[in-house]
A and B are shown apart, each in its own frame.
Chain A
Amino acid sequence: DAGVIQSPRHEVTEMGQEVTLRCKPISGHNSLFWYRQTMMRGLELLIYFNNNVPIDDSGMPEDRFSAKMPNASFSTLKIQPSEPRDSAVYFCASSLGQGRAFFGQGTRLTVV
């Protein structure tokens, strides 16, 4: 398996623009996580899905953020409109049951 695949790897966008981050989890995994990493706040869990259903979105910072998982092999994290403080590395991870979570390579987002 190729592991968790995220795209794009890097994204630079202007404030106010819509940004969509994409994730393909490992085949067969039933849990998917979106994390955000910054120097100031560390690794924050934004949302997690189980069997394509959002279970806990309490970490989503505000209404500008939304996440979907239309099927078991694809998820998106959307920011609309984006702001400079959204600049961070966004990681997607997937796991099977209560096993360890495997992380993608991350998307480095810069909002100018």
Chain B
Amino acid sequence: ELKVEQNPLFLSMQEGKNYTIYCNYSTTSDRLYWYRQDPGKSLESLFVLLSNGAVKQEGRLMASLDTKARLSTLHITAAVHDLSATYFCAVAGSYNTDKLIFGTGTRLQVFP
């Protein structure tokens, strides 16, 4: 059974600082996604990572995937308050399936 874990669960960081969120998963998969959720809102897709070594960047966020280590990272550079949200990674259940299993989520709070 595929399990997806994120750490940390909670992250409080000062504006301007850098930090990394980690996503580990238990079985082989060919696809990994990152989502953002604001309080009381739906989930918004951020990144799709489809191969080993894939790296995607948008603004202050950069995501990478290491399929051999079954690890993805979401790196935050020079955090700003607007990045405060909960971030989820999601992993496809197995090859040739659309089933997505979500991680526990990382609640990020950026303060001045």
Residues of A at under 8 Å CB distance from B? 31, 33, 35, 42-43, 45, 48, 50, 55-56, 91, 93, 95, 97-106
Contact = CB atoms under 8 A, between A and B. Distances in A.
Interface stretch (B15-23, B41-49, B59-67, B68-76): B41-49
B37 to A, nearest CB: 9
B33 interface: yes
Given A98-B92, A101-B98, A103-B42, 15 more contacts: A31-B98, A33-B100, A42-B102, A42-B103, A43-B102, A48-B98, A48-B99, A91-B42, A91-B43, A97-B98, A98-B31, A100-B33, A103-B43, A105-B42, A106-B42
Interface of B: 31, 33, 41-45, 48, 88, 90, 92-93, 97-105
Contact of A98 (B43, B44, B45, B98): B98
- Nearest 6 A/B pairs, CB to CB: A43-B102, A31-B98, A100-B45, A103-B43, A103-B42, A105-B42
A100 B42 contact: no
A42 B105 contact: yes
Contact of A42 (B33, B41, B97, B104): B104
